[in-house]
Chain A
């Protein structure tokens, strides 16, 4: 095992109310890492967090904190603190007392409490808010109080459960940057839970993609984006055209009735595979120059680019291009070898990556109050 692993989850399984939430989960987290558990509602990411915090006990498996098993250790004895989804601030205490809460439990001298709380409030840009009532603060300010309250007790690990979920888009973006800065300046391990892939990509050192209580992929943001393990990951992170293909030989794949040079190898001869092509990696060319050609069936202006749906032999591709292509026009597509990513077939094959029923998928950003998962 690697050095400086701060927390190690081994063979964790848990069922809640008759539902299997986590199935034999294995995950280790390095010190000072910013790791994100990413997945749809009910994938088990919040439960994983709660197991680390000590709020729930796994049915089986071990939680190892700095080489010590901490399975039965209650939350108040763990060097782990949590930022709750809805902040869970104490409304009977003012801002200062909320932040001071953990220090008072530790019975630090008043002088020290005052100094550390002030420092923390300064760090989260809430200087001068000491006496303010919690309920008089905006969502963003409450969020900052929650961060200060958790960080002031100097945790080894900070757990963040969709902390930005209740904030509006602009504030979210600002807080993302701020959280990342705080994490880097304090050198604390952050375990961040979100269902927002963009948030995960822009903040994390490591992303853990989860679905159905199983880890689908662990990797850097670049890895999970460029080299998704299966159709679920490819679809959940970014947009993907996922096609059925056959490996004709190393570095040669056939799909959509055409053979493409690619960079992937190590598959069996004529193995059926899933092929991922990202919408931004396809070049639009004139029909005669294209490797594939098709009819544009819809065009949406997205600001930076146009999003067009192209029908190629019945399969609808999504393509992002900066050149306007009118609906009904015939265009050619050119795909570079490094734009093609080959994946082994999985249980998710065929479920994702076809845009034939595509209707402006709801951006999950627009519904911040996503139902809580347990």
Chain B
């Protein structure tokens, strides 16, 4: 019975020019978004490869220089734009993909493509995930707003029930047909993305296969929510126009307003420190207490001196077998690192608070929860960025230590006059980044997954209510 209903629905879709047109437009949007995503990722990866090579070349050929001075001259850590960013670029355009690695300072990321974007691009981002998140529900609502209400208006519902059709079979038949059509869109876009993701020059995210399967599952659950909601609303509405108006309201709130308002409210309630203030604070709190002229700073430097003299059992700096300036620089690094850890923990904490507040809005908009999970699976959310930033910071610390150690070990009494050459620079390692696996990626979005499942249960309940009230009240009319 369900199969017969689904087949009949498909025939009706096919013959309804409006459905074919809307599906065609959404499919074209999906195709365009996929190609655009691939083009953007390819360009970013090409530029990254070129920048990495140039960075290395400049480093290797900087000539004679004091190693610590070189630590200020320093290098970049570039974040790869991984293959799944073709499907969902997430925050890629907003967080930047290059971190300047210098001594005494932990830089935020630079090179944010959004800085070059015109305003409208910030409102409508054409990417495959966004097309499914926004247009998938719209397509479902257009397919299903009349699922029960129109059958009731035309009188066919009464006849189908008279023929012994169970209401739940009608709903499931309609659900299967709408779900298949929109599922086709999801798989088409995912397959297209997967094909383009495998293009040469694009780095593979760990667990890409598993992540892609999880993305497919995510979007099927997401679309199923809207399928059951549409069926329930249609069954409970006296007229198909009423159902359409109600569903359009749900669509606007869920896919357009919710994802815009949620982050804005979160940003207002738990503001992150302004960039210039944060940078100034980093500078002030990591440097002044060590290098400044305050009693605290003087005492701290004196303590470093006392400790190293005691360690080597000598009386003066000149007697030390190491380059003391290099040692003092490294000590200041380690002091600053503790400050960076504390301040960045505060910064990440403010982002986490924003996410928690925005997640409350997911109770009104499953799109918010789906976006969070989708970005996490694609490795383009704030958690993925933090992983990269932390890895880059770890590399910075090791790299600066390497340079300072060169000065400490080989600088002797030369102080800042000690220099290294290209032979040394060429031995220095590159930053190599490995993204976390899927388990780590989804740890931060468990709340969003639960919210999506709650939405699914609620949508099924609305459909069940529609079966109970919407059908039985009708037939006696």
**A-B interaction:** no
